[in-house]
Amino acid sequence: MFKPSCLHHSACHDHCHTSIPDTFGVLCWNVYKNNRKNSRFQNFLRTEVERRIVDLILFQEASFRDDHHFELPHFSYDAAANLEFRGEFYGVLTASRMESSHAKAYLSEGRESMFGPHKSLLLSDYAFDDGSSLLILNVHAINFRENQRYSKELERFLNLLKEHKGPMILAGDFNSWNKKRMEKLQKITEKLSLTAVSFKKTGKVKSFMGKDLDFVFYRGLELLEAVVIDEHKLSDHNPLFVRFKRKPIKTP
């Protein structure tokens, strides 16, 4: 399995905002390569984005092409490809109503099995009006490998995020399906002072072997709303919707 010919992809509409609002909505979803050609998917996405006022969309297993904009008008995107087939790329994608101030795509160091593809990660930065920034790591973690490889990949998340001092979101499909994986994920998020969004009583988060796979972790933000959207029949994962408000910056 070869690496994609281009790792980092991006597109920006002319009418994108220059900064992220202090209160904003995030939709996080493993879409199972369903987003670009499925009209039912696109109609569902437009409805949810308008109804819930979504500002940021974090997809895993998204499909994208360099000659196409994102499905929604006035949304820009950055994406990290881990697969390529006949001009179509697949990977993690972060779309937003505002252009990122910085974004970088990564591939996992390990592969999925001996001959499988790497997984992709996308780190993106969004500016608030006062010049401070929100850092987001969109994750689709390695799956079909031993716990030791999984642990090494999560250590990389820590290295990518540890220097950032401000608000932060770590979200996606973590493939955290056993006890050791969950313990490692907890250790990494604790080191970063991140809190997990609780979706209990709001719908069914994708799980395997009794362990949740999809998470949204955050810091420097106030959680206003958290909902699992489970009436779609478009993917084997349910989209997670979260609304945040930036916490005021403390002055000495």
- The full set of domains in the chain, from first to last, is 8-246 (3.60.10.10)
Q: State the average pLDDT over residues 229-238.
A: 92
Task: Give the pLDDT mean for 32-36.
Answer: 81
CA distances from 169 to 27, 176, 215, 234, 242 (A): 12, 18, 10, 25, 11
In this predicted structure, the answer to whether residue 22 has a pLDDT above a threshold of 70 is: yes
What residues contact residue 112 under an 8 Å CB cut-off, 6+ apart?
A: 118, 119, 142, 143, 144, 145
For position 167, what pLDDT does the model report? 97
125 vs 34: CA distance, rounded Å: 26
Residues 6+ apart with CB under 8 A from 230: 203, 204, 238
Alpha-carbon span 13 to 95, nearest angstrom: 11
Q: How far apart are CA 87 and CA 66, in angstroms?
A: 9
Calpha distance 56→98 (Å, rounded): 9
Q: Kindly report, residue by residue over 127-148, the tens digit of the pLDDT.
A: 999 989 999 999 999 887 888 8
98-128 tens-digit pLDDT: 999 999 999 988 788 777 888 999 999 999 9
Whether the predicted pLDDT of 250 surpasses 70: no
Q: Per-residue pLDDT averaged across 147-165, rounded?
A: 92
Q: Both ends of the chain: CA-CA distance in Å?
A: 54
pLDDT of res. 196: 98
Q: Indicate whether 1 pLDDT > 60.
A: no
What local confidence, expressed as pLDDT, does residue 3 receive?
A: 81
- pLDDT score for 2: 63
